[in-house]
Amino acid sequence: MIAIIVLPVWLAVGWAIFGGGGWGTLGLVIVVPIAFIVLGIVALITNVRPTVRQERALSWIDVGVLTAWHLSIIGTGFYGPTATGFGVLAILLGIAAFWVAVWQLVTDGANRMKASMAEFERLAGEQPGASATGGPVGSAGATGPGARRPPFDDGSDDVIIIHEVRED
């Protein structure tokens, strides 16, 4: 999170120490806010991921991509002969960091949903009305978690049956 502030500030400080020229200053006025916003968006997407919040740690993919991206921004801030190369690399790695963060967020959400559904199905199979095979008791030969029994009125308060009456 500290990189959201420090890296754009480094671009400005590096320009003051190593840079020069008016056109570069104009470019810096555009680049620093963009760097701040993109760093913030990637950090937000990364921190929203449930596994990051739960484990309080990034994945190794995050570590690799973010380290390379931050180092390229630091390299750009020296404004030497390789600043353009580092700048292009920083842009490409910023795009990669964004899409890697989105991909991991979607993948993590899908994995958590699968785990939730598996737990739901496991608990549904343990219900008192379920047979040992996982199907409901009294189903006409149907077994498995997706088997359904026809509705009936056994006199209990648990079942509500609504009959549709059509008048032509």
| CB neighbour burial string for 13-40, b if at least 16 within 10 angstroms, e if fewer | ebbeeebeeeeeeeebeebbeebbebbe
**Residue 151 φ/ψ, nearest 5 degrees:** -70, 145
Stated pTM of the model: 0.68
Give the model confidence (pLDDT) of 93-112 as tens digits: 999 999 999 999 999 989 88
- Looking at the domain assignment, is residue 91 inside a domain? yes
In-domain check, residue 161: no
Is 132 inside a domain boundary? no
- Measured between alpha carbons, how far is 27 from 36 in angstroms, rounded to an integer? 14
Q: In total, how many domains does the chain have?
A: 1
132 pLDDT above the threshold of 50: no
Looking at residue 152, its pLDDT comes to 59
- One-character DSSP codes across 54-82: HHTS--HHHHHHHHHHHHHHHHHTT-STT
Query: Hey, is 5 helix, strand or coil?
Result: helix
Q: Is residue 114 part of a domain?
A: yes
CA atoms of 45 and 52, how far apart (whole Å): 10
Least confident range of 56-65, 96-105, 119-128, 149-158: 149-158
In Å, how far are 5, 115, 149 from 121, measured between CA atoms? Answer: 46, 10, 17
Q: Domain range holding 94?
A: 86-124
Residue 150 located in a structural domain: no
Q: Can you give the pLDDT at residue 35?
A: 94
Kindly report, residue by residue over 48-77, the tens digit of the pLDDT.
Answer: 998 898 898 999 999 999 999 999 999 999
Q: Give the SS3 label for residue 125.
A: helix
